[in-house]
Amino acid sequence: MNILLANHESIEQAALLIRKGRLVGVPTETVYGLAADAGNDVAVAQIYETKGRPQFNPLIVHVASLEQAREYVEFTPLAEALAKAFWPGPLTLVLPRRKEAAVSYLVSAGLDTIAIRCPDHPVMRKLIEVSGCPLAAPSANPSNRISPTRAQHVYEGFKGSREPAVILDGGPCLVGLESTVVDASGSSAVILRPGGLSREAIQVVCSVADAKLGGDIKSPGMLAKHYSPRHKMRLNVVDVKPGEALLAFGPDPLPGSLLSLNLSASGDLVEAAANLFSMLHQLDAIECEAIAVMEIPQSGLGVAINDRLVRAAAAL
């Protein structure tokens, strides 16, 4: 892992790595991000693996312009007004995902919404443009550590690990606080995470409603709206019952299902994480009695995969 001074050449180099599915540490005006191609399931899985996240918290998709954002999410009049007022800047909008959006379901942890933001940092914006794809990027710190506001913080957090492939050094972050996350899908703004853009500033543009605690809250870490399937789910199965679809894992998928999709035939947990939400979507779309899921080892990304499966199974 190298720290490279951000310039035309190093950004080109970083963009090449992004296109190959690698991760890049990159400055934004808020904090440094750990960025990957948002359309690449395996690269996104690698973000969770690298951060050591015990759960698949949904990630923010970064774009270079409002026009680019329209390719991935449905804008409401409220979102339109907020984006015009505060983009580029430390505001993330949670909006309905467009059906044709070329964004990995793992980015949004299987949700039908996407958190999207247009950052105000020349290095990040250039990286998005040169990479030619939207970038998924959480803060570039290992899980449960402090968010990084300098390239050196990113280096300290991940030294010795394979990712990120490089860290672009763009100096210290000016805001130093993560972006404010706002659910802008309705008629008033709901602040899901306070951050670098104040409530007062948002109130100049629109009304702000309080997130309902314990209710339908979609706030970070306590997402009640995580992807819940239509079908019943059975976990850790050792046999398939008549009429069931199978989510398999490993070289020996159980026989006898209506349809069987394998998270990873080779038993690779990063590959399994990359496939998890898109395969659940596929199996949930067919008519079946239930979705049976084979046992996933409780190690590495397996912990996060099992966490999501248990939530999905409990959702009905």
Applying CB under 6 A, among 115, 133, 197, 309 the residue interacting with ligand TXA is 115
Element (H, E) at 41: helix 41-51
- Within 170-189, the residues that bind ligand TXA by CB under 6 A are 178-179, 181
Q: Could you say which of 40, 92, 104, 139 contacts Mg ion (CB under 5 A)?
A: 139
Beta carbons within 10 angstroms of residue 270's beta carbon = 17
Residue matched to tokens 């990286």:
127
Q: Which does 279 bind (CB under 5 to 8 A by kind): Mg ion, ligand TXA, none?
A: none
For the CB of residue 69, give the shortest distance to ligand TXA in the complex, in Å: 14
Q: State both tokens at 281.
A: 């979507």
Binding mask 42-81 for ligand TXA (x = CB under 6 A): ---------------xxxx---------------------
CB 114, min distance to ligand TXA, A: 6
Q: Which is nearer to ligand TXA, 119 or 290 (CB)?
A: 119
Task: Tell me how many residues contact ligand TXA (CB under 6 A).
Answer: 26
Tell me whether residue 33 or residue 288 sits nearer to ligand TXA (CB atom): 33
Alpha helices, DSSP H, located in 104-212 = 122-131, 151-158, 199-205
Nearest-approach distance from CB 138 to Mg ion, in angstroms: 5
| Collapsed DSSP state (helix, strand, coil) of residue 63 | coil
Q: How far is the CB of 201 from ligand TXA (least distance, A)?
A: 15
Which 205-224 positions form the footprint of ligand TXA (CB under 6 A)? Answer: 218, 220
Q: Which of 36, 45, 69, 111 binds ligand TXA (CB under 6 A)?
A: 111
Region at 21 (left for phi over 0; alpha for psi -120 to 50; beta for the rest)? left
Q: Are 179 and 197 in contact (CB under 8 A)?
A: yes
The single-letter DSSP state of residue 189 is: E
Distance of closest approach, residue 308 Cβ to ligand TXA, in angstroms: 14
- Looking at 108, 149, 275, 306, which residue binds ligand TXA (CB under 6 A)? 108
> Is 193 among the residues that bind ligand TXA (CB under 6 A)?
yes
DSSP bridge partners of 197: none
Measured CA to CA, the distance from residue 37 to residue 242 in angstroms comes to 40
CA 97 from centroid of its chain's CA atoms: 13
Which residue number, 117 or 231, has a Cβ lying nearer to ligand TXA? 117
Structure tokens at 120: 């105000």
Residues 6+ apart with CB under 8 A from 159: 1
Stretch that binds ligand TXA, among 30-38, 150-158, 232-240, 306-314 (CB under 6 A): 30-38
Mark the segment that binds Mg ion (CB under 5 A) among 127-135, 138-146, 234-242, 269-277. 138-146
Instruction: Give least dist CB 225 to ligand TXA, A.
Output: 8
Among 39, 88, 110, 138, binds ligand TXA (CB under 6 A): 138
Question: DSSP string covering 232-294, please?
Answer: EEEEEESS--TTEEEEE-SS-PPS--SSEEES-TT--HHHHHHHHHHHHHHHHHS--SEEEEE
121 scored as a contact of ligand TXA (CB under 6 A): no
Q: Could you identify the residue written with the tokens 């706030």?
A: 219
DSSP string, 205-218: HS-EEPP-TTTT--
Q: How many CB atoms lie within 10 A of CB 310?
A: 12
Contact footprint for ligand TXA (CB under 6 A): 28, 30-31, 33, 57-60, 92, 94, 108, 111, 113-115, 119, 137-139, 178-179, 181, 192-193, 218, 220
Under the rule (CB under 5 A), what is the footprint of Mg ion? 139
